[in-house]
Amino acid sequence: MLGAMLASVLFASLTLAAEFTTGQHNNFIQGVRGNQGIRTNPATVNGVAFIHLGQLFLDANGNFIGVGTYKGRNTVGGTTNCPSHYGGDWTGYYDRVVAMVYACSDFCVDCWDTGDNPSFKIEWASCLPQPVSRWVVTFAGTNRACISGPSSGIGGSAGLEVVGTTNDYNIDAKWTNMQQRPQGGTFWGCYDSRPGQEAPDYTYQYVNTTVLGTRTSLR
Amino acid sequence: MKKSFASPSRALALAGIIGIAGAGSASYALGALDPAVALSCDPTSASDIKESTSFTPYEDRLTQIPLQPINPEELARSDESVGPAILDALEVAWSVASKGGRSTTYYASRALEPKTTAEDLFAAGGLVLDVEPSDPLAGSYLEAIKAELQERVTSVRLGTLDAGLVWGDPMSNGVRPHVLIWVEGGQNFTLTGERLGHDMVNIGRGIVC
């Protein structure tokens, strides 16, 4: 019997060390990076998007920079951002909300499969060859975008998402080498990470400050 | 770090009545306040603001991660926040600041609850004022946002300052905040809230002018 599933989200948030008792952050961050270990490659379902996502939150308002892989898509009314890909493998994407405006772009269609472990990085750095600072989005070692915005963020995250209605979804990713760079610093380090949000049928395995596993349950 | 919200219009008015004495005689140079400046501090109306009608529906986003609460651990507000004590008749509900000089102040009609998200805050009429030091390696923050968002940014004036007004995309609860962006005194200002565009500009003029 098919059941309707709402868009549900699992992600784990890497946050700064919570060593403060007032609204005083030790530092905001200017970078998040890691590896996205892909462990499944489900058949696509019409109207459903499967997503492995990494994000850097620019603030608590909902502004962020994101990068990862996806497959499927289509929404009611069609899409104006990130087209549908119902092919065999995972497609790269980056998206952002800046000044509360959303945009999404895809790159390298069907480039990643089960067993791949592409790196990702979102960092406030020089947008080469221009000597101007922007949010530089890197995936699998290649710069994919330079995005404007405030020069710091409040935290990073990594996880899975299914958007759409499906009764058969099998996404499993292991995130490794997760690190953050504090504002003004050059050192990439590990900070206290904490679970984010979990939806029914999603699981989260916190291994340590740099490794976490995320998956959806098989039905 | 406290910011004094000096009024550029008052400064110009004072310059207009400072006399310049010529040799052997007294003479005065009286200047009138620049009408353009005066208009950019007076309240604007909806007819003065022409915004793009484009937007991305929330359901058209690829990623739709729910927002995290603003202050889930109920931390005390920072003493280092930058911003007026009252904004659009709202008091400071919470504030957070960083050693890097960035400050975010939340204005609301009541205290933030642990589960309150920005969507909740905006839906209830709250405002968020974010201030950060300008990065000299990034060029103009305002110009960068204009280049990033193109026609979604409407150019407006706050006193003598250029500013950008953005009508944001719908959030998951349907709220479409406006965002007002300007640069002053080596700092980038971002004001976000669910207000009509001209109301947002008027709030900004109240800060700047």
Q: Among A48, A61, A130, A146, which would you mutate to test the B interface (most chain B Cβ atoms within 10 Å of its Cβ)?
A: A61
pLDDT digit string, tens, across residues A48-99: 889 999 999 999 999 999 999 999 987 765 567 899 999 889 999 999 999 9
Q: Is the pLDDT of residue A183 over 80?
A: yes
In single-letter form, the type of residue at position B170 comes to P
In sequence order, which residues have a C-beta less than 8 Å from that of residue A186 and are 6 or more positions away?
none
Across the interface, whether the CB atoms of A27 and B99 are under 8 A apart is answered: yes
Residue reference for tokens 């000096």: B6
Closest approach of B195 to chain A, Cα-based (Å): 14
The C-alpha atoms of residue A13 and residue B201 are separated, in whole angstroms, by 35
Give me the count of residues in chain A: 219
pLDDT digit string, tens, across residues A16-29: 433 334 444 446 89
Nearest CB partner across the interface for B138, out of A57, A93, A151: A151
Across the interface, whether the CB atoms of A101 and B169 are under 8 A apart is answered: yes
Q: Cα–Cα distances in Å, from A178 out to A69, A191, A200? A: 17, 9, 25
Quote the ipTM score.
Answer: 0.88
* Per-residue confidence (pLDDT) for residue B24, from 0 to 100: 33
Is B188:B161 a contact under the CB 8 Å cutoff?
A: no
Tokens describing residue A32: 């998040």
Name which of B144, B133, B148, B137 is nearest A131 in CA terms.
B137
**Mean pLDDT score of chain A:** 83
DSSP bridge pairs for A190? none
Angle CA B115–B120–B124, to nearest 5: 130
Q: Are strands A193-197 and B86-87 parallel, antiparallel or unpaired?
A: unpaired
User: What is chain A's alpha carbon radius of gyration, rounded to the nearest angstrom?
Assistant: 17
Closest approach of B15 to chain A, Cα-based (Å): 35
Q: Is the pLDDT of residue A125 over 60?
A: yes
Enter the DSSP assignment of B66: P
* Per-residue confidence (pLDDT) for residue B20, from 0 to 100: 30
Q: Is B42 left (phi over 0), alpha (psi -120 to 50) or beta?
A: beta
Enter the DSSP assignment of B182: E
Band (pLDDT 50/70/90 cuts) for residue A218 is low
A110, burial (CB in 10 Å: exposed 0-12, middle 13-18, buried 19+): middle
Provide, as residue numbers in chain B, all residues whose Cβ is less than 8 Å from the Cβ of A64: 65
Nearest CB partner across the interface for A161, out of B63, B78, B128: B63
Q: Positive or negative, the Cα torsion across B110, B115, B118, B124?
A: negative
The C-alpha atoms of residue A102 and residue A86 are separated, in whole angstroms, by 23
Tokens describing residue A205: 């395995």
Nearest CB partner across the interface for B118, out of A61, A76, A196: A61
Tokens describing residue B30: 């009286």
Band (pLDDT 50/70/90 cuts) for residue A215 is confident
CB atoms within 10 A of CB A116: 17
The C-alpha atoms of residue A193 and residue A17 are separated, in whole angstroms, by 8
Name which of A12, A47, A77, A83 is nearest A162 in CA terms.
A47
